[in-house]
Structure formats: C-alpha cells, structure tokens
Amino acid sequence: MMELMHDGGQGYLAGAPIFRMIGLPERSDFCETVLKRMLMRLDDDRFRKLHNLVGEGDGYRSRYYARSEAVYLLKFACHVAAYFHRHGGAKGKTYACEVMKKAEAFLDAEMDKKFGLKIEHDCYVYDGRYYSCFAEYDRASIGMGLPYPSKYTAKLLPHVLLVAQHAITNNGWYDKDCAGEEGGCHVWYGGLYALEALQPIHECISTLKDKAEHADIVAALPTLEKAIKAMMFFLTNSNGSMTGIWHYGPTDMGECANGSFEQVLSDYLRLFGPDKSVERYYWQLPLGIGCYVGRRQSGNTYFMQYIHSMSACATYLAHSPEYLCASKRVSG
C-alpha cells in the first residue's frame, strides 16, 4: 500500500499546481485535501510500529511491507512538503515543516540499519528506491532553507557512490543479474529508482560547489554525473540491444511508474540541459498510459490498477495543451 500511495499520490501532487495554473482552483483544492489525507498515514500507529520493526532479520521485511516500500512513502511526503512550502502561503509553510519533522523521525530510525547494495530481496532493483527517500528529504530541506549537508549526508554518500559505481560498471544497466527477474520490468526499474536517488543528491551537492569546507562531498559530483548519464542513455537508447530483451519504458511500464518517469526525465533536462533522446522519451510517455490495464485483470488487481493509474495523471497533465499554453504564458 505504501508503494501505491506513492505512485498514485504523484498524480494529485502534479494536479494541484497545474489545475490552479489553468484556472481550476476547486480541483486544485481537492488535490491538496487528498494529499493531506494521504499523509495522515504518518500519524498511524501501525505505520509507526512498522518502521520500528522493519530491518529485523536478513530480509528486512515486516509481515506486510518490504523495507524500501515502507520508506518510499517518506519520499512522497517530502515532495508534498516542498509543494506546500512553495504554494501554500504561511499555513502551507507551517504544514510543510510539520511533515518534514515527521519524515525526519522515520529517517532517523533507519540510520542504525544495514546499508549498501542489494538492500533487499537479494536484488539491486530497490537500492535507489531506498536511498531516494533521504535524497528527497535533503532536496526539500534546501528548498525550505534548512541546513545542508544534513545529518544523513556523511553516512549515505559512500553507499550512494556504490550505487553510482555499480551503474557505471554495468554501462547503465543498473540491476543486471537481478535474481532472475530480467525478463520483466526490472530491466528498467532499477535504473529508474537509482535515478530517483542520484539526481536529487547531485542537485543537492551542487549547491556546495563554492564552499571549500565541503570539498570532499563535492568530489563525488563527477562520479554521480557519469552514473546518471549512463543510466539515462541505457533507458533512452540502448535498452534492448544491451539486454537482448526489448523493454521500452514509455510503452512497457503502463501507469505504475509513469509519474516517476515524468519527474526523472524533467529533472534530468533541468539539471543537464537539452538532450534529444531524453526529450523524445519524455514526449512519448503518454504512449504507456492504458497499457497496464490489460496486464492486471485478475483478483484484486483492479483496485491496485485504479491507484496506480493516478500516477499517470502527472504525465497526462504535464502534456496537456492547457498546461503547456498556461506555462508558456507564465514563463513568458
């Protein structure tokens, strides 16, 4: 459920500012209400107990959730906090600070647990998803004027560099040899998750370039950039030829990761500038919307499909003519 809340929540998070920009404030208000209700999960005693339990044993699983899935909601929470800090006025800033404090309490509980590669399931695919929650906390903190480097930076950076080096060694195929799962979505999922971690970390560290006292942290930037570009090239150019299995993200992923791809590609273009392959990939994202339905037609997957499909709303709205015209008016 934590994964579904993250994926589906991206649609509401994208919708809130876009609906307001195109003159539909009542829809924006609805999205903001949903976001706040979703984050009430952070106050749920069962979720709090879950975080105290996750990490016991070799598999890092509680009875219900994988470790990376439990913290994935925290990544989303930090996104929501950043949104309300920017757009919610004085009350929004207060709410954002409350959310960040709650996220910080959960992240503190993770610091005594095992880090590294193959963080769960004897598989590389979820490494980036786990580290992305810390990365988004730092990025949101900088946007809110909070101190950086954070108290997490020193411990996390060596492990994040292991992620980067693994991507470089495998020419961008992050989760190569992933527990026999390479016939499916894991071909591209590992790279997506790793990019969700490495790009925000690169952006955060870049703010320290002119601070000599942090030269040791800034020294990580070339490795991070090389890994990011290798994974992005793999996703947008060489996927099938390298693996022997053709999986093209925009059409293979369907709804479940569409919003994540929209953000990762947008972040890449913002951080590293124009790239024809990435831009082509970005504008083809809507092709995947609808593909997922045909693959999940049994059992209770209709419910999962509905929530997952909300992730695609981020792509729908970002590609809508109304938003594109409105954004040009605002920027122009």
Q: Of 237, 320, 307, 324, which is closest to residue 5 (Cα–Cα)?
A: 307
Q: What is the pLDDT of residue 30?
A: 92
Peptide bond into 149 cis (omega under 30): yes
* pLDDT tens sequence across 142-183: 999 999 999 999 889 999 999 999 999 998 988 876 655 555
- For residue 66, give the DSSP letter: B
| Percent of the residues in the chain that have a pLDDT greater than 70, as a whole number | 73
The pLDDT of 212-238, averaged and rounded, is 93
Provide the sign of the torsion angle of the four alpha carbons 308, 277, 321, 85, taken in this order: positive
pLDDT tens-place string over residues 54-99: 444 433 344 445 677 777 888 999 999 999 999 999 999 999 999 9
Distance CA 205, CA 182 (A): 32
Give the residue, 158 or 45, on which the prediction is more confident: 158
Q: With bands split at pLDDT 50, 70 and 90, how would you rate the model's confidence at 327?
A: confident
In this predicted structure, what is the pLDDT of residue 50? 57
The CA distance from 269 to 278, in Å, is 8
298 pLDDT exceeds 50?
no
Separation CA 268–CA 27 (nearest Å)? 29
Query: By three-state DSSP, how is residue 56 classified?
Result: coil
The average pLDDT across 213-218 equals 95
Instruction: Tell me what pLDDT residue 241 has.
Output: 59
- In this structure, which amino acid lies at residue 19? F
DSSP symbol at 149: S
The torsion angles phi and psi of 81, rounded to 5 degrees, stand at -60, -45
Q: Which residue has the higher pLDDT, 210 or 119?
A: 210
The pLDDT score that the predictor gives to residue 64 is 45
- Which pLDDT tens digit goes with each residue over 8-21? 788 888 889 989 98
pLDDT band at 257 (very low <50, low <70, confident <90, very high): confident
CA atoms within 13 A on the CB side of 43: 7
CA gap 309, 134 in Å, rounded: 26
Select from 185, 170, 320 the least CA-distant residue to 250: 185
* Distance, CA of 15 to CA of 19 (rounded, Å): 6
Residues 74/103, Cβ–Cβ less than 8 Å: yes
Q: What percent of the chain has pLDDT over 90?
A: 39
Distance CA 271, CA 257 (A): 21
8: which residues sit within 8 A by CB, 6+ positions away?
307, 308, 309, 310, 311
Query: Is the CB of residue 234 less than 8 Å from the CB of residue 172?
Result: yes
Task: State the average pLDDT for the chain.
Answer: 80
pLDDT at 185 over 70: no
Among 296, 6, 271, which residue's Cα sits nearest to residue 126? 6
Confidence of residue 134 (pLDDT cuts 50, 70, 90): very high
Q: Please, are residues 155 and 115 in contact by the beta-carbon 8 Å criterion? A: yes
Residue 14 pLDDT:
86
What mean pLDDT is predicted for residues 247-255?
Answer: 55
pLDDT by residue (tens digit) across 270-286?
A: 999 999 989 988 887 77
Whether omega before 274 lies within 30 degrees of 0, making that bond cis, reads: no
What is the C-alpha to C-alpha distance for residues 19 and 31, in angstroms, rounded to an integer?
A: 9
Contacts of 70 (CB under 8 A, 6+ apart): 2, 47, 50, 51, 54, 62
